């Protein structure tokens, strides 16, 4: 007969066996943590009747499955000892070092965080968002710079959800609701899809038992039929892929996530049979080029469904998910959803932020994806309900999002979390609007400091207030940096707006006069015309807005300068050229291309490399869709080894009259007026811009343009001219292949 000690040691063995290749000292660490936690929890039982310690081993196994590092697995074993036994953080520090002690302490504190109650009048949805935000905010404060705390907490929650059946009914509901509101979205934001899905399914099972059961049952009944079907198309696709020399490929039929099926059914109001991802395939290949090649093969083999193709590789989702998604009608007319990605993308998608630790050793220094994910979480905290104006939003993103945080404390020891560069005024408004409005001075670490002092990490701040009075106009002056957070600036503007309008008009007039004088245009423009530039019909309203701080000095000067530039640009350019043509030129119909040796075939220009006259080109004979013309250096062509499908093509006469859509990418250090200057250059060359997409990250602007170009020479000229624009780092033709 086995004793309980035998059972445990077998558990230890299987835990150790499940670890990635840990070094001997790491295995020792985990063994020691195992024994310590087992001893600490001895005699304790879970609701299921099992020894409590089995929970700790399960949490550690989840972390090991996620391929987390040894410290995380050890902390997973020990995560409940501080809470549930007499082992203190100090004892842990002595036995296991400060990192593991800190991890366990963080997880313990996270458990005790109060979660805001549902505020009256809120809808379910907004209160869930508020709860999540509040939790994320506190989580970021608690975890410090070690996100592993959160991953251990998630593993803990996952195991508790897996064993929720032993809890009393009312407890099941509240735990499941909390998981749905906070932990599943958290896993999603951290990019850990595997965990997100499982948490959602487990919660859904308790929150909507009937729906869960009926979907599960329906899926189960058709499982055999579905599996046979999927195997059939899988075989077919494997054969086609191997013809294109994609042999190292894994095709999986994706696991069924009941909650995601349910969401789709309710969102799109569809019956179960019409949900595509019930018949879903995932194709894993080695390289990016193979992804697109495989996509082409899928689209050739079966008819793609319009509107269902998503390129999350070129445009990753907010949580950095990358994959190609498409849906096709198969030979029998059934819809199949197909996801195509590389192994690396796959690991990223399944493990999210946790993938950081498995790559850490190979890469030196910064893991950019990891940093981006943390940055994203930090950014979330700034998106409060006060952001409703689009331009304010952009300002906020510019001034706050890409900066770090500084934590300071009140005399009571409450932590106030602000962006770096925040001042005592920001601090005061963060505590309470009234404290902000009446703020007259600040003591930082016991010493009186100016109100535009930049708070440092850990500063203790005491706000000195007056009995009456309000904020000063100067606090909004962006050159003086009195208040940098959106919250403080909104509150200051709000207070000022409520003050006497006449006073604002007088103050506004002074500010406007001063700004126009500074620009040297006081005589050239009328106040009314400047008001119009800011979309104010009445001058007094405009002046009052300036006086109230709604329109700032820099905003006025920027608008006026922009208008001046526009006027001078207008005299040399044809503005019509900047508007997209009503019917864009066809990217895939190439009338003027003549084909050597294969006359009469339907000809398409490849979208991946968008060739145009002057380019070296080659034709690819597709299945049933004529010839696709690629650029000679297109990676899709290079990756294709079906040389028998390649044919020589050349540009025929008359191509000059035709215009071609060419994707162009411009990277620049962002500045005022950049886009306008680039547009003007393109317009001057009589080239139409079919689309523009601008994204800015950390002051680097990336412009993606679709230009209607008639020749290679014209494109080269435009790229050279854009290169000369100040701040432009690079202007190039984009190769989407």
Q: Which stretch binds Mn ion (CB under 5 A): 15-23, 148-156, 336-344, 608-616?
A: 148-156
Q: What are the residues facing 418 on neighbouring strands?
A: 406
Would you name the residues annotated as active-site residues? 83-84
Least Å from the CB of residue 78 to Mn ion: 10
Q: Scanning the structure block, which residue is given the tokens 């469904």? A: 305
CA 555, chain centre distance (Å): 30
How many beta carbons lie within 10 A of that of residue 432, not counting itself? 12
Length of the chain: 737
Q: Which is nearer to Mn ion, 163 or 287 (CB)?
A: 163
Distance CA 395, CA 377 (A): 19
Distance CA 505, CA 497 (A): 11
Q: Which is nearer to Mn ion, 161 or 241 (CB)?
A: 161
For 96-122, give the DSSP string: H-HHHHHHHHHHHHHHH---PPPPTT-
Least Å from the CB of residue 40 to Mn ion: 13
Q: Which stretch binds Mn ion (CB under 5 A): 152-160, 209-217, 583-591, 626-634?
A: 152-160
Q: Scanning the structure block, which residue is given the tokens 């015309």? A: 529
Tokens of 62: 């989840």
Name, in order, each residue with C-beta under 8 angstroms of 314's C-beta and a sequence gap of 6 or more.
736
Q: What are the residues facing 253 on neighbouring strands?
A: 281
Least Å from the CB of residue 96 to Mn ion: 18
The 3 state secondary structure assigned to 512-555 is: HHHHHHHHCCCCCCCHHHHHHHCCCCCHHHHHHHHHCCCCCHHH
Least Å from the CB of residue 195 to Mn ion: 16
- Judged by CB under 5 A, does residue 157 bind Mn ion? no
Torsion angle defined by CA atoms of residues 355, 361, 365 and 370, in that order, rounded to the nearest 10 degrees: 0
Distance CA 602, CA 189 (A): 46
Tokens of 2: 């086995």
Q: Scanning the structure block, which residue is given the tokens 């040691």? A: 9
Q: Which helix (H) or strand (E) holds 34?
A: helix 24-40
How many beta carbons lie within 10 A of that of residue 141, not counting itself? 16
Q: Which is nearer to Mn ion, 150 or 484 (CB)?
A: 150
Q: Which is nearer to Mn ion, 80 or 277 (CB)?
A: 80
Distance CA 343, CA 341 (A): 7
Distance CA 211, CA 201 (A): 11
Q: Which stretch binds Mn ion (CB under 5 A): 68-76, 155-163, 206-214, 708-716?
A: 155-163
Least Å from the CB of residue 55 to Mn ion: 6
- Judged by CB under 5 A, does residue 156 bind Mn ion? yes
Is 389:494 a contact under the CB 8 Å cutoff? no
- Judged by CB under 5 A, does residue 62 bind Mn ion? no
Least Å from the CB of residue 240 to Mn ion: 48
Is 706:663 a contact under the CB 8 Å cutoff? yes
Q: Which is nearer to Mn ion, 155 or 340 (CB)?
A: 155
Q: Which is nearer to Mn ion, 80 or 382 (CB)?
A: 80
Q: Which is nearer to Mn ion, 195 or 617 (CB)?
A: 195
How many positions of this chain bind Mn ion (CB under 5 A)?
Answer: 2
Least Å from the CB of residue 353 to Mn ion: 20
| Position closest to Mn ion via CB | 156
Q: Which is nearer to Mn ion, 37 or 283 (CB)?
A: 37
Q: Which is nearer to Mn ion, 52 or 370 (CB)?
A: 52
Q: What share of the chain is helix, strand, coil (3-state, %, to 5)?
A: 50, 15, 30
Least Å from the CB of residue 146 to Mn ion: 18
Binding mask 64-103 for Mn ion (x = CB under 5 A): ----------------x-----------------------
Phi/psi at 2 (5° precision):
-85, 135
Least Å from the CB of residue 56 to Mn ion: 7
Least Å from the CB of residue 79 to Mn ion: 6
Q: Which is nearer to Mn ion, 156 or 615 (CB)?
A: 156
Distance CA 645, CA 453 (A): 69
Q: Which stretch binds Mn ion (CB under 5 A): 156-164, 190-198, 318-326, 443-451?
A: 156-164
The 3 state secondary structure assigned to 163-232 is: CHHHCCHHHHHHHHHHHHHHHHHHHHHCCCHHHHHHHHHHHHHHHCHHHHHHHHHHHHHCHHHHHHHHHH
Interface residues toward Mn ion, by CB under 5 A = 80, 156
């Amino acid at each position: 007969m086995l004793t309980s000690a035998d059972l445990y040691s077998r558990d230890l063995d299987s835990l150790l066996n499940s670890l990635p290749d840990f070094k001997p000292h790491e295995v020792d660490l985990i063994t020691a943590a195992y024994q310590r936690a087992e001893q600490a929890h001895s005699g304790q039982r879970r609701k299921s009747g099992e020894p409590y310690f089995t929970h700790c081993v399960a949490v550690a196994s989840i972390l090991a499955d996620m391929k987390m590092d040894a410290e995380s697995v050890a902390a997973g074993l020990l995560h409940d000892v501080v809470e549930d036994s007499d082992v203190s953080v100090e004892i842990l520090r002595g036995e296991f070092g400060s990192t593991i002690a800190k991890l366990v302490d963080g997880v313990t504190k996270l458990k005790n965080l109060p979660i805001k109650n549902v505020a009256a009048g809120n809808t379910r949805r907004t209160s869930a968002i508020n709860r999540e935000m509040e939790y994320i905010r506190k989580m970021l404060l608690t975890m410090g710079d070690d996100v592993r705390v959160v991953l251990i907490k998630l593993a803990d929650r996952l195991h508790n959800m897996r064993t929720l059946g032993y809890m009393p009914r009312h407890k099941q509901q509240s735990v499941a609701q909390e998981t749905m509101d906070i932990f599943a979205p958290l896993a999603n934001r951290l990019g850990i899809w595997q965990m997100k899905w499982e948490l959602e399914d487990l919660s859904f099972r308790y929150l909507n038992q009937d729906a869960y059961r009926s979907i599960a049952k329906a899926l189960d009944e058709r499982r055999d039929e579905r599996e046979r079907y999927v195997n059939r198309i899988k075989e077919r696709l494997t054969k086609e892929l191997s013809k294109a020399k994609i042999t190292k490929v894994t095709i999986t039929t994706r696991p069924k996530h009941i909650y995601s099926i349910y969401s789709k059914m309710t969102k799109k109001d569809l019956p179960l049979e019409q949900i595509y991802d019930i018949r879903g395939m995932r194709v894993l290949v080695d390289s990016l080029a193979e992804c697109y090649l495989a996509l082409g093969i899928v689209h050739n083999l079966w008819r793609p469904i319009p509107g269902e193709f998503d390129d999350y590789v070129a445009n990753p989702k907010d949580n950095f998910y990358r994959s190609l998604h498409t849906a096709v009608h198969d030979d029998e007319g059934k819809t199949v959803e197909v996801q195509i990605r590389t192994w690396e993308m796959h690991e990223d998608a399944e493990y999210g932020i946790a993938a950081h630790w498995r790559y850490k050793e190979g890469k030196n220094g910064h893991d950019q994806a990891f940093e981006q994910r943390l940055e994203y979480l930090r950014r979330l905290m700034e998106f409060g309900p006060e952001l409703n104006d689009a331009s304010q939003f952009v300002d906020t993103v510019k001034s706050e999002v890409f900066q770090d945080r500084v934590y300071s404390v009140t005399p009571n020891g409450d932590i106030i979390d602000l962006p770096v560069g925040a001042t005592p005024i920001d601090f005061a408004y963060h505590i309470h609007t009234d404290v902000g409005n009446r703020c007259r001075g600040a003591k930082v670490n016991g010493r009186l400091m100016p109100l535009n002092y930049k708070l440092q990490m850990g500063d203790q701040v005491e706000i000195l207030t007056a009995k009456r009075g309000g904020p000063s106009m100067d606090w909004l002056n962006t050159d003086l940096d009195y208040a940098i957070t959106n919250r403080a600036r909104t509150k200051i503007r709000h207070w000022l707006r409520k003050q006497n309008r006449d006073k604002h008009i007088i103050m506004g007039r002074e500010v406007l006069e001063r700004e126009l004088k500074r620009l040297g245009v006081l005589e050239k423009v009328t106040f009314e015309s400047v008001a119009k530039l800011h979309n104010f019909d009445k001058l007094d309203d405009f002046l009052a807005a300036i006086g109230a701080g709604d329109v700032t000095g820099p905003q006025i000067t920027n608008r006026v300068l922009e208008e001046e530039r526009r006027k001078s640009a207008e005299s040399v350019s044809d503005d019509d050229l900047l508007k997209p043509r009503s019917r864009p030129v066809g990217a895939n119909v190439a009338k003027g291309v003549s084909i050597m040796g294969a006359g009469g075939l339907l000809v398409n220009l490849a979208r991946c490399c968008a060739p145009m006259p002057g380019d070296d080109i080659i034709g690819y004979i597709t299945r049933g869709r004529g010839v696709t013309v690629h650029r000679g250096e297109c990676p899709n062509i290079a990756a294709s080894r079906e040389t028998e499908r390649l044919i020589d093509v050349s540009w025929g006469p008359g191509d000059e009259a035709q215009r071609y859509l060419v994707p162009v990418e411009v990277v620049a250090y962002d500045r005022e007026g950049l886009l306008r200057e680039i547009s003007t250059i393109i317009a001057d060359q009589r080239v139409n811009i079919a689309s523009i997409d601008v994204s800015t990250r950390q002051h680097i602007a990336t412009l993606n343009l679709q230009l209607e170009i008639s020749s290679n020479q014209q494109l080269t000229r435009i790229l050279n001219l854009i290169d000369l624009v100040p701040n432009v780092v690079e202007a190039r033709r984009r190769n989407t292949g």
